Structure 1
């Protein structure tokens, strides 16, 4: 019997429908682009991008230039909580949300580098659906982890309701190719480990003569005071002990019972020997790791090995786990100098994500720009960034926030931790209008807003050519290879004009020509391919479609439950 393998996938209403996106060109608004007045460091970056417009169209606009170039993508899409959708059919709502996300995830996948990372921020409302969808696009084998992020405390109105109080969101992490994924080592600061309660008085002497006392006595002796005075001092100032254990990290130790079955045979021998001779200290030299010391069958652990440099400070640290419960911000509403209730994410969260997945100079993308946190953090960390935002807060929130970062006047968030002083810049873009529009007779024609240069650039993108007009050869407006070029014109071309073009192009090169109309037979010019514009592109895209966002007012209303029609009168039946 043959066993057939079936692919696990999520299905929903309308899944088979995909928009035919127009690859728009991006137009810079130089009045909104912003750069520092002078270089602050030699590493200042000036080529980041802020894009105003529908994020699905913007991602399509970026596809040609940035496919395979983005190192980290962070998105915080609408959580689909239903708060604004209670009067709409739930099944249809989920389907629309899934299509909205799927179309964007597929484009984002193409933009990632092979070793790149995507992090999707979501709550538990759509977590299950989203995981299956991400498995389908990125493949289950490329899932890195699902991180639980504590984003609030069980206080205020949330604590009034019975049951479990929701205080967490989730970060779904995938790589394009997990086999190539190389994350950076990240540690999390923790409170002092109180198990380290012993003090080595003479670490500079031979280990056989080491003497141990309690941590309090060690503190007292280092300060030249009695233990009683030390206890009184530490009770009034607990922070003194925190500073002391860092300053004397080579002296602060604890005794730990080793995992007998997990250590080497040489270590087991010393454990047994030290148990039999508890008055002696034993040493196991190691070449690639720190030496191991044993006394009384226990291992001596040094506090120095727990210290990590985090944000420029030596603190007790532990490796990053999938529970991020240490990033609550007491001043989140003031970060970046902009108000964004319930939507702003702490800069410390984005810093951790970028510390884990990127290095200076890498490209970072956020297609749901929101209040601009991703760009602000990326800029402060020396990463190039792209943010996309459709709503008005692109201008009211993100623009002033990024200007403040560049000017060095933003003192909030991670500024102090990373020593940010300002510098660099970004370019502000908006999407060009649709290339085609309908005239008064309902015919598709080239949009009147397009000048010849815009038209050439747009057609280059449609045809897969790189727009790079030559300064000396008028018909070389773009190229796909070193010998294949494109020429776009608003003129009707005659046979003589086409023949002249063919002669100039020569036998070793080819030219794609797009014009409104032409005379002559195209097969007479073996090195030319002649097409009519807009006829040749009419079926390529959904022309004139400017907004692919989820708008509540455009959703179909849920059907009225059976038996309630009579209660609502004739108005409901119409």
Structure 2
């Protein structure tokens, strides 16, 4: 089987493991109100799940690992095409000063002999390895390329994901006029490499007419479709409070989107979306009387009316075509940005419709979507559009290394969520919120000791997350206490100016009771028999702190 080799490969194949973990410094949160076309910034996090990070994408990806390892469902990246063009804003020949500095530090003297293709592979390999660690098993990755690095891109993804996980090398008609080549063949198309991470079960399929309609109403035959209450992840009322409202059945009974366990959920779409026809005419939906879970009573009832879609044209599922000639062109991306900012502000942005189509290939409407070469922010734009269209609850994470991360990338997301344009080009806002971060200091210094300049709150947050994989909320309890999860109690006995010891005196500080105690300290003087008898696990600082 062919293998991929290039100058510098031996220096970068495991480099992703050596990247320092840096903390993320929250700069501001933003929440839009599309009804007024406004939005506001805040110092506190929005907790929306949407993030824009300014900083080196390799280090930013490492910083995402504790919270997101194995959770990202969709990754879209549009890396440098390596055309040799020095003038592009992303410097398309991989001679960006930050990349050159990184190559010198990691590859060393060999970096002086690298061709531009070697540089591209050295830059991409550890980044894609890090992306794979973040991907869910049923996750999908989409990489945009042109002819310059197509062959290397295929070898790269085959090497990391395995050739068996390749779904497509999809040609995309980017320039319907045939491209900008002035001689020989004008090929006007680019490519999108599509791979999964071990399971393709999440890939949606195209619908085409087939089958029979087995139900009938006064408008003709139909088939029962999806339940109109949202199922699965992010289906609680608080996830979409605007989609908690009553519907009226054909008999005049009022129903709310309660879940089978009796808790409050929400409808699949909002009032202004696909639910409006049902609000105006209940017969638009198919209704069935369904029971709650055993023993559940809501409003004195053990059952309630549940609405379903009426499908007038049954569909069969077939594979998508991979010749992408109707999902937008580069010129559409440029026009969209001009409408948002009022002038041309970014070269070669991808069309939003293309990214929407790619994201929609994953069936999870609550998918986490990551773009580590964020550019002008098209991926976030696509996520917000899709959520508005289908009532989904997708989240985006963007990483951009350039200094325009706030002025262009984040600003675009603000305008899209508030609404933009004027006259016949006015576009209604999608709504939404996000948090903006800068890469902070490394958590560990060059000697692998804790970097105290990071600050104790960030260190405590990291320890908690490394142990529990849950978000951290500073407890208002005794000193050193981190929290309790699954009957395990966590303590981090740490002082900036002195060494700490877990001994009998330190145990006087342990006030919270649990079945097991995980206690961090610099040293331990407790007998092993005593710790075993009392279910105490000692973890030495910094030796036993998890590294991602």
Q: TM-score, normalised by structure 2?
A: 0.62
Structure 2 residue 77 is the aligned partner of structure 1 residue 75: yes
Q: For 1:477, what is the secondary structure of its paired residue?
A: strand
- Deviation track 1:18-66 (CA, whole Å, cap 9, x = no partner) reads 2212333323212xx21024889xxx99331111121112212222222
Q: In the alignment, is the contact (CA less than 8 A) between 1:329 and 1:346 conserved in 2? A: yes
- Aligned runs of 1:252-291 on 2, under 5 Å? none
Query: Could you give the per-residue CA deviations for residues 179-235 of structure 1, whole angstroms, max 9, x where no partner exists?
Result: 424314278xxxxxxxxxxxxxxxxxxxxxxxxxxxxxxxxxxxxxxxxxxxxxxxx
The residue aligned with 1:29 is 27
- Greater shift in the superposed pair: 469-478 or 391-400: 469-478
Aligned with residue 516 of structure 2, among 509, 532, 538 = 509
- 2:206 counterpart SS class: coil
Check the 8 A contact 2:78/2:144 in 1, yes or no.
yes
Please, which of 387, 405, 413 is the counterpart of residue 402 of structure 1?
413
Distance 1:330 1:83 in 2: 19
Give the equivalent residue in structure 2 for 1:393: 404
What are the within-5 Å matches in structure 2 for residues 36-47 of structure 1?
36-37=32-33, 46-47=48-49
| 2:173 paired residue number | 150
Change (3 A) 1:534 1:368: same
> Are the equivalent residues in 1 in contact too, given 2:329–2:350 (CA < 8 A)?
no
* Residue 431, structure 1, aligned to residue 439, structure 2: yes
Quick check: 1:487–1:513 contact (8 Å CA) kept in 2? yes
Report deviation, 1:71: 1.9
Aligned: 1:173 with 2:194: yes
Per the TM alignment, residue 483 of structure 1 is displaced from its structure 2 partner at its CA by 1.9
CA separation of 1:154 and 1:408: change in aligned 2, threshold 3 A = closer
Q: Secondary structure at the match of 1:345?
A: coil
The residue number in structure 2 matching 1:342 is 347
1:457-491 Cα deviation digits (max 9, x unpaired): 23445667656344335433257864262415225
CA distance in 1 between partners of 2:196 and 2:504 (Å):
55
Aligned match of 1:374 in 379, 385, 388? 379
Q: Quote how far apart the aligned CAs of 1:403 are.
A: 0.8
Between the aligned partners of 1:68 and 1:434, the Cα distance in structure 2 is 23
- Whether contact under 8 Å (1:48, 1:385) holds in the other structure is yes
Q: Does 1:455 align with 2:459?
A: yes
- Residue 132 (1) aligns with residue 132 (2): no
The structure with the larger Rg is: 1
Residue 380 of structure 1: how far off its partner (Å): 1.6
Q: Tell me how far apart the structure 1 counterparts of residues 466 and 94 of structure 2 sit (CA, whole Å).
A: 41
Shift of 1:391: 0.8
Q: State the aligned residue count.
A: 391
The answer to whether the Cα contact below 8 Å between 1:79 and 1:125 also exists between their aligned partners in 2 is yes
| Equivalent in 131, 139, 146 of residue 116 of structure 1 | 139
The secondary structure found in structure 1 opposite 2:119 is: helix
Change (3 A) 1:57 1:480: farther
What is aligned with 2:293? none
Deviation at 1:434, TM superposition (A): 1.1
Distance 2:426 2:395 in 1: 17
> Using the alignment, how far apart are the partners of 2:547 and 2:331 within structure 1?
51
Aligned to 1:59: 61
- 2:16 paired with 1:16: no
* Secondary structure at the counterpart of residue 361 of structure 2: helix
Greater shift, 527-536 or 324-333, is seen at 527-536
How much has 1:505 moved relative to structure 2? 7.0
Offset, 1:519: 7.4
| Deviations, residues 477-517 of structure 1 (Å, cap 9, x unaligned) | 2578642624152253254543435x6577941323134xx
Give the Cα separation in 2 of the matches to 1:77 and 1:27. 25
Show structure 2 runs of 5+ residues with no match.
37-45, 87-92, 96-110, 209-311, 388-393
Call closer, same or farther: CA 1:71–1:368 in 2, change over 3 Å: same
Residues 372, 86 of structure 1: CA spacing in aligned structure 2 closer, same or farther, 3 A cutoff? closer
Provide Cα deviations, 1:277-296, integer angstroms capped at 9, x if missing partner: xxxxxxxxxxxxxxxxxxxx
SS of residue paired to 1:323: coil
Q: Does 1:323 align with 2:323?
A: yes
Deviation for aligned residue 1:400: 1.4
Post-superposition offset of 1:154: 4.7
CA shift in 2, pair 1:480/1:411, >3 Å: farther
Give the conservation status (yes or no) of the 8 Å contact 1:48–1:384. Answer: yes
Is there any run of 5+ residues in structure 1 with no aligned partner, and where? 1-6, 188-303, 309-317, 542-574
Give the TM-score normalised by the residue count of structure 1: 0.59
Distance 1:89 1:489 in 2: 45
- Partner Cα distance (1:129, 1:352) in 2: 25
Q: Which residue of 1 aligns with 2:230?
A: none
Query: Quick check: 1:186–1:356 contact (8 Å CA) kept in 2?
Result: no
Distance change (3 Å), C-alpha of 1:70 and 1:105: same
